A and B are shown apart, each in its own frame.
Chain A
Amino acid sequence: MAKAIAAVAGSYEQAGRRGAAADYDVSLMLRFQKGDELAFQELVERNQGRVVGLVYRFISDASDAEDLAQEVFLRIYRARKTYKPTAKFSTWMFRITANVSLNALRSRANRKDDVSIDQVTDFGDGPRAMPDPDTKMPDHGLHQDELQTKVREAIADLPEKQQVAVVLNKYEGMSYAEIADTIGCSTMAVKSLLARARDNLKDHLLLYIRTGRGRQRVG
């Protein structure tokens, strides 16, 4: 077993050194598995942007994004002994990210039922993931905040699997096959999920697109 891991690690390390299209993150994970803590740090540095970005897409809340992203990396850290390089590292990492984000959404939904009007939102005092100021602003009359709220609601109203498929397809540019690997279903199931999701999104956002010029409210 150890020999097999070493052989795979060796091949990935060679591939990484060559700068080939091989999954360098897998080689880092295997180095970490052998006790190289710096490899884990490098994994965090290489992937934090994608993880924070993806968490933010799901929960749309900058105040929780860093904590949840750290939770994702902690799960990766804890899984070092059982990790097997059977798939792309990003597939595995995105699966963890989606699970952590959806769990947070579920507990947030449960909390919302219990929150009293006297409770105040705690924004914390530490540095937090912030929306990127470079994100392009729309050139239309509708307030940006209002449009973002509508889009966020449209995504949040989707069933969980559709949400995951949409986020991975839209924001990570994943193919149907990659999404299928990540959420553990067939490519045909992803095709069906995305067809229904995009139909739902279209219905939800119809008011903003009906004129054909886009993003102009009707009525």
Chain B
Amino acid sequence: MSPPCQWVRSVLVAYLDGELKPSTAEAVRRHLARCESCRAQMRLLEESWRLLDEMPTGRVPAGFTQRMMARVVEEKELSAFAARLRPHEARRRVFASVLGVAAGLVLGFAVYAWTGMFETPASPVECEVSRHVSFLEDVDLLDEVAVIQAIDRLNRGMDEVEDGA
């Protein structure tokens, strides 16, 4: 296909629809006058477009407006019902939230109590150790104090030895 034919084919539908600028439409018209192939293409487009006229037209059934307005009334009633429902719905949601929190607390406590039942009681030794936990935590510090005191005593002993000497 020659470049002019390609260009005409690309704008042919717009040409048929009267959607081209006058100068462009004139150029297409001049090309069509001397190009049988593009004229045949145009006829196919026109004829296939005309076949769409064979489709039946939808006709409005009798009483359409009355049925439509009845649906509008239903719609209004539904909206009014939904509006009336809204405060109840809000209260129901608050109540459901409170109930949920309470249920959560009760469940948490129940789980805590239930798992506590399976813990073995502490032995007397463990009880005794737990009473001295603070002492045990400081045992390293006490260790260091004991070492310092020992060094101190050693120093004093050395001094006495030197004094005696």
Contacts and interface: CB of A to CB of B under 8 A. Distances in A.
B127 to A, nearest CB: 71
B1 interface: no
A52 B49 contact: no
Interface string A180-219: 0000000000010011001101101110110010110000
Contact of B56 (A131, A155, A201): A131
B19 interface: yes
Interface in A17-64: 37, 40-41, 44-45, 48-49, 52-57, 60, 62
B64 interface: yes
Contacts of A52: 58-60, 64
Contacts of B49: 170, 198, 201
A132 B59 contact: yes
A130 B61 contact: yes
B54 A151 contact: yes
Chain A interface, DSSP helix/strand/loop, else mixed: helix
Interface SS of B by simple majority: helix
B19 A77 contact: no
Contacts, number: 132
Contact of A147 (B12, B47, B54): B54
A214 B49 CA distance: 11
Given A52-B64, A77-B72, A194-B13, A135 B58 contact: no
Contacts of B69: 41, 44
A146 B50 CA distance: 16
B52 interface: yes
B64 A69 contact: yes
A176 B68 contact: no
B43 interface: yes
B51 interface: yes
A148 interface: yes
A70 interface: yes
Nearest to B18: A175
B68 A191 contact: no
Given A132-B58, A138-B54, A176-B19, A214 B68 contact: no
Given A44-B69, A56-B57, A135-B56, A208 B51 contact: yes
Contact of B55 (A55, A57, A70): A57
Given A48-B60, A129-B58, A152-B55, A70 B71 contact: yes
B58 A202 contact: no
B68 A135 contact: no
30 contacts: A37-B72, A41-B69, A44-B64, A44-B69, A45-B65, A48-B64, A48-B68, A55-B58, A56-B58, A66-B67, A78-B75, A126-B67, A129-B61, A132-B59, A151-B51, A155-B52, A155-B55, A170-B52, A191-B14, A195-B11, A198-B13, A198-B49, A199-B13, A199-B45, A201-B52, A204-B48, A206-B48, A209-B47, A214-B47, A214-B50
Interface of B: 10-14, 17, 19, 43-45, 47-65, 67-69, 71-72, 75
Given A44-B65, A48-B64, A214-B50, 10 more contacts: A40-B72, A53-B58, A136-B53, A138-B54, A151-B51, A194-B13, A194-B14, A194-B17, A195-B10, A206-B44
Interface of A: 37, 40-41, 44-45, 48-49, 52-57, 60, 62, 65-66, 69-70, 73-74, 77-78, 126-132, 135-136, 138, 144, 147-148, 151-152, 155, 166, 169-170, 175-176, 191, 194-195, 198-199, 201-202, 204-206, 208-209, 212, 214-215
